Amino acid sequence: MKLIEVKDYNEMSQKAAEYIIEKVRNHPRINLGLATGGTPVGTYKILIEDHQKNGTSYQEVTTFNLDEYIGLSGNNPNSYRYFMNEKLFNHLDINKNNTFIPSGVAEDIQTECLRYEQLIAQHGGVDLQILGIGQNGHIGFNEPGTSFESNTHVVDLAPSTIKANARFFDNEEEVPTKAITMGIATIMKSKEILLLVSGESKNDAMHKLWNGEVTESFPASILKNHPYVTIIADQAAVAGLK
């Protein structure tokens, strides 16, 4: 894993955006894996600004998001489909038909998991996966204890994750308790991974990732076994790291 240390959230967003823009410019048909949550929002803003100012085109780009809440349709402002449209897709020249997110309202969720896994494979896999990390080490919605062999699957969200995500909802009771997520094996199949980490609340997770062992009780630790991972982390996240 290569670590790029930056000053703060803004610099992390800037560096991450530059990284992605260069890839998109060099590989216009790239398959990007995308994340939601607070961490990549600044990066997405800069991608939009760059698209508007410099004309970087996403016409031929395909995207696959990591996860979606079960029970929320794309029209629900708390769904990840809605989030991605608002924070990124609506402001780029991307073809929305090429932006894929698991459906949280599919009639048969197990079939949806299989379909999503196959869809990624049919497109030749994810070239560059953007990741955030949970305080408990989750990646996607793969909570501690998830098998490293897991493909796209249904998860019960950990109470700590529900708490952390309640900030996006009116109250904690509204946060869905289940989600559909790319599995750890799905994420590990990406050719390249860009992990973004910002803030003191992620400092403990960053320490465990950097210095801890590879264990299913800390899902992000598997990234140590991936050949091509870049971490962009700010000072608050890496403080005290050796």
In the Cβ-directed half-sphere of 172, how many Cα atoms lie within 13 Å? Answer: 8
Cβ at position 110, least distance to ligand F6R in Å: 20
Whether 5 is catalytic is no
Between 51 and 87, name the residue whose CB sits nearer to ligand F6R: 87
The active-site residue, picked from 50, 68, 143, 234, is 143
Cβ at position 161, least distance to ligand F6R in Å: 7
Cβ at position 40, least distance to ligand F6R in Å: 7
Nearest residue to ligand F6R on Cβ basis? 132
**For binding to ligand F6R (CB under 6 A), which residues are involved?**
35-39, 66-67, 132-134, 138-141
Between 52 and 201, name the residue whose CB sits nearer to ligand F6R: 201
Between 39 and 186, name the residue whose CB sits nearer to ligand F6R: 39
Whether 143 is catalytic is yes
Cβ at position 91, least distance to ligand F6R in Å: 19
Between 132 and 176, name the residue whose CB sits nearer to ligand F6R: 132
Nearest C-alpha neighbor of 218 from the set 205, 202, 228? 205
The amino acid that residue 173 corresponds to is E
